[in-house]
Amino acid sequence: MADWPLRDKICMVGIGTTAYGSFPETDSYGLGAEALGKAVADAGLTYDDIDGLIVNRIPSYDRFAEIVGLNPRFTLLTETPGRFSAISLMIAAQVLAAGEASTIALVYGNNGRSQRMMYGGGAGTWAPWGMTSPGAIHAMMYRRHMHLYGSTSEQLAHIAVAFRKHAGLNPNAVMRKPITIAEHQASRFICEPLHLFDYCLVNDGAVAWIMTTAERAKDLRRPPVYLSGFARQDTLVESSTPDPELWYPALQRVAAQVYDRAGIARDAVDGLMIYDNFTPTVVFSLEGMGFCPRGQGGEFVRDGTLELGRGRLPTNTSGGHHSESYMQGWALIAEAVRQLRRDECGERQIPDCDVVQYICATNCATSIIFRR
């Protein structure tokens, strides 16, 4: 079979991130503009080089372009859920491959914390029964997983503990104080069976990436990080209720494509960035990609498997959504790039890092394989 036409053709060449926290003096436009400025400088480019713009979580693409003074050939505002970080990246890669833009800036800005954003409440199909919030859907799915496979809440604690440990090595992480399994178990229930420490951290902040073709990437300031492969499979039928298969078939389809497309085997992955809005997605992601058999994700994450310096698969080395900040996948992908550059992660550097895989288990399941 011929190689996937996009393999290693598109690169991440600039990364910009703001501080994460509560910044009521600015907003998602201000934060986004700051991150974009950093990403442009990181790439060694000027704003005149940017002819494509994808904006996410910032309310208006035209207002943002007006603010930063851009008249791109291609501009797009993508949907607000975090699954659209990887989707935005894939769209940018396809636009670049088609020649409809040569250098695309992707900008995510969120001021959810200072706006007291609540994920839940409001109208919806199930509001009359009090069913609301993404966390409750994950709680419902994980209860099912516990029933089918005997997994436990304590297994999820190992995920939260590992990511908090990593956050302690990341000066930009919001929550850096180590936690224990017992502290996770003692934290209050938000939506049972999920505890407080199974939930991500809503903050203000922004992330920007600059993407271009491998051809153009060669001469830029920083070494390029290549998109070796990506794949996506949606599960939208009967999606008003939790997927009875816990997204496993979709993730398996993604797994069947992404390694082939990249020409990189699963065993060659040095580190993982897993979309961790709630800890159960880590279990679903590891099973779906085949790192462990179906149903054994809970057992698999025990005893430090995901911990830097300890386990085989260092995961969310920045602290992820649980401990760095919930930047809806955007900061996890920035961390993938930084790991592959090998000179920006300090104490949290994965040794000899050649390949990092991003995985997002949602009703739009995605995965991306990055290499240096």
Partner 1 sequence: MASPTAYRKPLPTIDVWNKPFWDACREHRFIAQKDNRSGHVWFPPGPVCPTNRSSDWRWVDLSGRGTVWSWVVFHQKYYDGFESEMPYNVATVELDEGPRIMTNIVNTTNDKLRIGMRVGVTFRDVDDRIAIPLFQPIAEGGT
d(CA 341, CA 15): 11
Binding mask 19-48 for partner 1 (x = CB under 8 A): ------------------------------
What is the total count of residues that contact partner 1 (CB under 8 A)?
33
Q: How far is the CB of 309 from partner 1 (least distance, A)?
A: 35
Q: Is 202 in the site for partner 1 (CB under 8 A)?
A: no
What's the sign of the alpha-carbon dihedral 285, 327, 191, 175?
A: positive
- Burial of 236-261, coded b for 16+ CB within 10 Å and e otherwise, reads eeeeeebbeebbbebbbbbbebbbbb
Provide the minimum distance between the beta carbon of 145 and partner 1 in the complex, in angstroms, as a whole number.
9
- 143 versus 341: smaller Cβ distance to partner 1: 143
Q: Is 116 in the site for partner 1 (CB under 8 A)?
A: no
Q: Which is nearer to partner 1, 117 or 256 (CB)?
A: 117
Catalytic residue among 108, 248, 275, 358: 275
**Of 52, 242, 271, 297, which one interacts with partner 1 (CB under 8 A)?**
242
Stretch that binds partner 1, among 14-22, 141-149, 285-293, 340-348 (CB under 8 A): 141-149
Q: Which amino acid is at 349?
A: Q
Contacts to partner 1 from residues 279-318, by CB under 8 A: none
Catalytic residue among 61, 149, 248, 326: 326
Q: Of the candidates 88, 132, 213, 323, which one interacts with partner 1 according to CB under 8 A? A: 132
| Active-site residue flag, 199 | no
Shortest CB 177 distance to partner 1, Å: 23
- Strand 194-195 to 364-371 pairing: unpaired
- DSSP β-bridge partners for residue 105: 53, 210
Using CB under 8 A, which of the segments 23-31, 41-49, 135-143, 337-345 binds partner 1?
135-143
Binding mask 212-241 for partner 1 (x = CB under 8 A): -------------------------xx-xx
Q: Binding segment for partner 1 among 54-62, 113-121, 161-169, 336-344 (CB under 8 A)?
A: 113-121
152 contributes a contact to partner 1 by CB under 8 A: no
User: Using CB atoms within 10 A of its CB, is residue 102 exposed (0-12), middle (13-18) or buried (19+)?
Assistant: middle
Please provide residue 13's backbone torsions phi and psi, each rounded to the nearest 5 degrees: -120, -10
CA–CA distance, 221 with 217 (Å, rounded to integer): 9
Are 77 and 127 spatial neighbours (Cβ–Cβ below 8 Å)? no
Q: Which residue is it, tokens 């791109």?
A: 72
Query: Distance between CA 32 and CA 22 in Å, rounded?
Result: 15
Is residue 123 close enough to count as binding partner 1 by CB under 8 A?
Answer: yes
Instruction: Report the distance separating Cα 182 and Cα 317, nearest Å.
Output: 22
Q: What φ, ψ does residue 274 adopt, rounded to 5°?
A: -115, 125
Shortest reach from residue 239's CB to partner 1, in Å? 11
Please choose, out of 153-161, 185-193, 205-213, 341-349, the segment that lies near partner 1 by the rule CB under 8 A: 185-193
Residue 142 is among the residues annotated as catalytic for this protein: no
Regarding 256 and contact with partner 1 (CB under 8 A), the answer is: no
What does the alpha-carbon distance between residue 281 and residue 276 come to, in Å, rounded to a whole number?
Answer: 6
Residue 115 makes contact with partner 1 by CB under 8 A: no
Q: What is the arrangement of strands in the sheet containing 364-371, beginning at the earlier edge strand?
A: 74-78, 52-56, 103-111, 204-213, 10-17, 225-234, 364-371, 355-360, 271-274
Answer yes or no whether residue 191 interacts with partner 1 by CB under 8 A. Answer: yes
Per-position b or e across 35-57, b if 16+ CB within 10 A of its CB: bbebbbebbebeeebbbbbbbbb
Question: Which are the catalytic amino acids?
Answer: 275, 326
The residues binding partner 1 (CB under 8 A) are 118, 120-121, 123-133, 136, 139-141, 143-144, 147, 188-193, 237-238, 240-242, 244
